[in-house]
Structure 1
């Protein structure tokens, strides 16, 4: 099992890995979860998949994607969009409630958003916990390399059950909200104690 953090600067060094990650997102989010999201060429994407973002991918040696995640700086801008959580709060996204945060969404160089986090439904149950931990560990490493002390993410509200297992200090940043039949909550992941 390997982890790779992709950027527009290094995509060419990793063959089909970026496309495979977008295909895995499509398979899970559109095929399995039945979410209404943009797709093309068998890949899921949205307005936040820009050169400003990075993608953390857990994969095998053949490039089969086991898990993934997108990191976007909270300082990003692309037309009217910034980052998903902030844009939802601003009422720009009709699929996520605007009252998802207790306070105004942060815009800071040391705060990034973690979104589109997934573990492929094809990963066997006995490996899922290990794959998830590997993803979160690399997410923290990538965030620190980018200068982030914190990452905001919209997660299933069961995060308190597994936060300690992955060794990340997490804090609720908004209320529990039901989105598409699943209880979700915005959480801040604190990576500041791991900065060197």
Structure 2
């Protein structure tokens, strides 16, 4: 099992891995969750998959993606868009309620967003925690490299069941809301204590 952080600067070194992340996202969000999202060539994508983002993947030797997330700085700008959670709060996204946060979405150096997080549905329960830990450890490595001290994430509302096991300091950032039949909640993830 491997973990890799992709960027537009290094993805050419990793063969099909970026495409495989987008394929795994399609499997998770479009096929499994039945969300109405953009797709092409068997891949899910959106307006936030830009050069400012990073994609973290846990994968096997064959490049099969077992889990992944997208990380985007809260200072991102591309046309009318910034980052998913902020744009939802600004009313730009119909699929996410605008009252998802308790306070204004941050625009701050060192604060990034985490979205499109998934663990592949065919991962056996006995291996899921190991895959999740591998994902968190790669996110931590990426945080150190990018100077990320805090993240805001949109996660299934059961995040508190596994946050402690993954040694993550997490707090609610918004209300629990049902999106596409799944309860989600915005949360703060503090990486500042793990920056050394």
**Aligned residue number for residue 130 of structure 2:** 130
Equivalent position of 2:98 in the other structure: 98
* Unaligned stretches of 5+ residues in structure 1: none
CA offsets 1:67-109 (integer angstroms, 9 cap, x no match): 1110000000011000000000000000000000111000011
Task: Tell me what 2:140 maps to.
Answer: 140
**Alignment pair present for 1:58 and 2:66:** no
The question of whether the paired residues in 1 share the 8 Å contact of 2:34 and 2:180 is answered with no
For 2:87, the equivalent position in structure 1 comes to 87
Quote the Cα distance in structure 1 between the aligned partners of 2:194 and 2:108: 19
Distance 2:158 2:133 in 1: 15
2:5 equivalent in structure 1? 5
CA offsets per residue over residues 125-183 of structure 1, 9 Å max, x none? Answer: 21111101111121122122111101110111111111110001001111111222222
The aligned residue for residue 18 of structure 2 is: 18
Contact 1:112 1:143 in 2 (8 A): no
Q: 1:109, 1:63 → 2: CA distance? A: 32
Q: CA–CA distance in 1 between the matches of 2:137 and 2:129?
A: 12
Map 1:111-126 → 2, pairs under 5 A: 111-126=111-126
How many residues were matched structurally?
Answer: 196
Q: Please name the residue that 1:29 is paired with.
A: 29
Moved more, 72-81 or 26-35: 26-35
C-alpha distance in 1, partners of 2:149/2:13?
28
* TM norm structure 2: 0.98
4+ residue runs over 6 A deviation: none
Contact 1:143 1:151 (C-alpha < 8 Å) held by counterparts = no
Q: Is the 8 A contact 2:5 2:57 kept in 1?
A: yes
Q: Which runs of 5+ in 2 are unaligned?
A: none
